[in-house]
Amino acid sequence: MVGGGTLHPTPVSYSFPNLDGTGQLPVVDAGTGTSAELVAAGVAGKIAIIRIADDTSWVAGQLFDARQAGATAVLLYHEASGRWQPRAGTLGGGLPAYAIPSDEAAGLTERLVAGPVELRWTATASSPFVYNLGFTQHTPFTDPREFVVHDHKLGRTEATYRAMGVATDYIDLLAALDSSGNGIAIGQFEPVHAPSQRTELYSAGDIHWQAAVLGSFPWGEVMVDQARSYEPGSERTDTWYDGVISPAAAESFTGEVQLAAERQGDLIGFASGIWGDSSGHWSGGGSFGDIGNLMLRRNGELIGESPYTFGVFEVPAEDSEYELQLYTAKIGGQLKTWKRSSEVITVWKFRSHLEENVYSRGLPIMFPRIDLPEDGVKTLAAEAGQQLVLDVTGHAGYTPGAITTAEVAYSYDGVTWVDAETRDDDGRWIAVVDHDGASGQQVSLRVELTDSNGNTVTQTVSRAYDVR
């Protein structure tokens, strides 16, 4: 407090939208935080202090009304003593909010009776680190245990979170598993801001930590990483939502790529993850808002359709040329923060015939992966000569050969396409794009990649990235 005194706040959320940096604002007493009290106190552009009933920690209503009244931040207190953490739902209430101890609140409200009071702060909105700790014991617990943690004995991940065009909060999901995949979810659906970077520390040993990110609460896609155990002092890096987001094969919790497409007798089936990033995270899609369909053509004729992103189709025995098309898209409320890869059309061409003595034949399906020279919200500079790195991944039924040809085109309107220069840079395929003078444009990409086995995938991504 300006003029003397220090507060010890507990935030609703340990991420965005907490106060960040330094600042100073007046504080006003808004009573119990009703709409009328907030307006009467003139909280617009100020910090409101609100009394919360001792028998509850739920403050979502007060925070909603305070945000509507224009408050910059809110301090909350109980008259009963003791520290407590206010609750406002998974997204944290939408504005900076903190609980303070009752004795500090009493001192602040007394000073407000005597005259104006201002608060000065130095704060970090999103924690630059998070500890994920677990301890195992293989014998019965019969005595009290004290566990001492030292940073240098933990595993460490330097994690980067990129956003899909709009700064937002993802939901940080984590499970602690044993070697068989059995375990428990831990944590409290804490948000993790995107774009951001943080250090994630994990207990080393035989716990397998499986991280996941919910892109949009509550119905968005869940991007999943494989389960990982850590050696003491080990370090790794990880990036979420990097590169062009597009379909990818599903993986097991141990990171084994799963079967995405196969032929069994006179049936062809397909099922994969519908979103994936360049670091190997994947998602099967959200509960609502992720849509798509599947079509199969034989020798140019449509022979099967599915209203979903998976399906099984009957096919004849003779050798034929097939074209499988997967459409994926986002709709609805998730589009508020999902501003990239709004629609993706992926087409695979391959030949197939009945093999009498083969129960299951994996189909030659490849998934394009395109790395970008991007910032945290998936934009590129308005410059010429920028390089996109091209690659393909497979599935349990097919390991792609080396890329032999690559064609890339980009468009600002989805109608007129500009061919990009492509080249094989010692086994690393590069596409060079020219966005000089294109600031503010939305960029769609079209790629066609062929591997050394002669199999081809074509993919068109609407609004893959923007030009800043």
Q: What are phi and psi of 41, to 5 degrees?
A: -80, -10
pLDDT at 327: 98
Q: Give tens-digit pLDDT for 139-184.
A: 888 888 899 999 999 999 999 999 999 999 899 999 999 999 999 9
pLDDT at 16: 65
Query: What's the one-letter identity of residue 234?
Result: S
pTM: 0.89
pLDDT at 90: 66
Q: Which residues of the chain have pLDDT under 50?
A: none
Domains in the chain with CATH codes:
10-123 (3.50.30.30), 129-135+149-240 (2.60.40.2190), 246-467 (no CATH)
pLDDT at 91: 65
82: alpha, beta or left, given left = phi > 0 and alpha = psi -120 to 50?
left
